[in-house]
Structure 1
Amino acid sequence: MSIREKILSDVKEAMKAKNEFLRDTLRTINAAIKQVEVDNRIEMTDEVVLPILQKEIKKRQDSIELYIKGAREELAKKEQEEIDVISKYLPQQLSDDELETVIRTIIIKLGASSVKDLGAVMKDAKEQIGAKAETKRISEVAKRLLS
């Protein structure tokens, strides 16, 4: 079962359970996926859906920061709950040690020696790691290792 099929199935389950929050969150995610599908006229595979889910999580993380600055804790909490729902559809995230090991291997393979090589390292890391780590985490580790 693909991620998209799982989301649609979970929407139905949420409707049966009368869980409005889960239903609405999953419908929002499905709408984002459908928008990309329609705009780009492509088949939605897991490889296409995963970056969309990561983007949706990033949007909510940005919103949380703004809500906290604006002293709107209840809205920040709601956004965090949505992140928790969306995260269930992403693969298991790499630990800091695992991420560092993968990036060290890439740096050695590419012969990267300074921050000037960050672009090449990031390109390779994104291809190899995919949705198993956020781009921000990958970037932070790569910068630290190249410094």
Structure 2
Amino acid sequence: MSLEQNINAAIKAAMLAKSEAELRALRAIKAAILLAKTAEGGSGELTEAEESKMLQKLAKQRKDSLDIFRQQNREDLAKKEEEELEVIERFLPKQLDEKELRVAVTHIIAETGATSPADMGKVMGAATKQLAGKADGKAISAIVKELLSK
């Protein structure tokens, strides 16, 4: 089943359960899917990679908003973002934990032959391609910086 079909089924279930928070997040995902499908130059169908990228973008937006709301002591708004983030993460592929990510980045550094922080661009290029959908760019960047500056 495609992501769109899964979302539609989840929307129906959320409506029956009268789950406002879940419904809000699912409708946001559905809107993003429709926007991506009708975007200029779009083929009308999304690949798995495009779906994953879109979901990651939505999750990142929620995380950024959550941080801002917490800094401003707006727990009411932070709670909404947190609820939506939980729903979005259910549809994302499993994310690598820090230990798995560190192993993957170490392997990529060895493959690219990087030895200093000057090689960070080369490593980040390879890492973002290989770990697309499995890890956040910020986390990848932090580990690459740490490992290359040793």
TM-score (norm 2): 0.91
Total equivalences in the alignment = 147
**Amino acid in the other structure paired with 2:28:** T
Q: What is the CA distance between 1:18 and its match in structure 2?
A: 2.1
- Separation of aligned partners in 2, 1:58 and 1:85: 13
Q: Who is 2:26 aligned against? A: 26
Q: Who is 1:140 aligned against? A: 142
Unaligned runs of 5+ in 1: none
Unaligned runs of 5+ in 2: none
Q: How does 1:60-139 map to 2 (within 5 A)?
A: 60-139=62-141
Secondary structure at 1:29 match in 2: helix
- Separation of aligned partners in 1, 2:95 and 2:142: 16
- Separation of aligned partners in 2, 1:119 and 1:3: 32
Tell me, yes or no, if structure 1 residue 53 matches structure 2 residue 45: no
Do the aligned residues in 2 keep the contact of 1:4 with 1:46 (CA within 8 Å)? no
Q: What is the CA distance between 1:70 and its match in structure 2?
A: 1.8
Secondary structure at 1:88 match in 2: helix
- Separation of aligned partners in 2, 1:142 and 1:3: 32
Secondary structure at 1:125 match in 2: helix
**Aligned Cα RMSD in Å?**
1.3
Which piece of structure 1 moves more, 53-62 or 1-10? 1-10
**Seq. identity, %:** 41
**Amino acid in the other structure paired with 1:116:** A
Do the aligned residues in 1 keep the contact of 2:21 with 2:80 (CA within 8 Å)? no
- Separation of aligned partners in 2, 1:12 and 1:45: 24
Secondary structure at 1:130 match in 2: coil
Q: What is the CA distance between 1:109 and its match in structure 2?
A: 0.6
**Amino acid in the other structure paired with 1:6:** N
- Separation of aligned partners in 2, 1:88 and 1:99: 20
Q: What is the CA distance between 1:144 and its match in structure 2?
A: 0.6
**Amino acid in the other structure paired with 2:106:** R
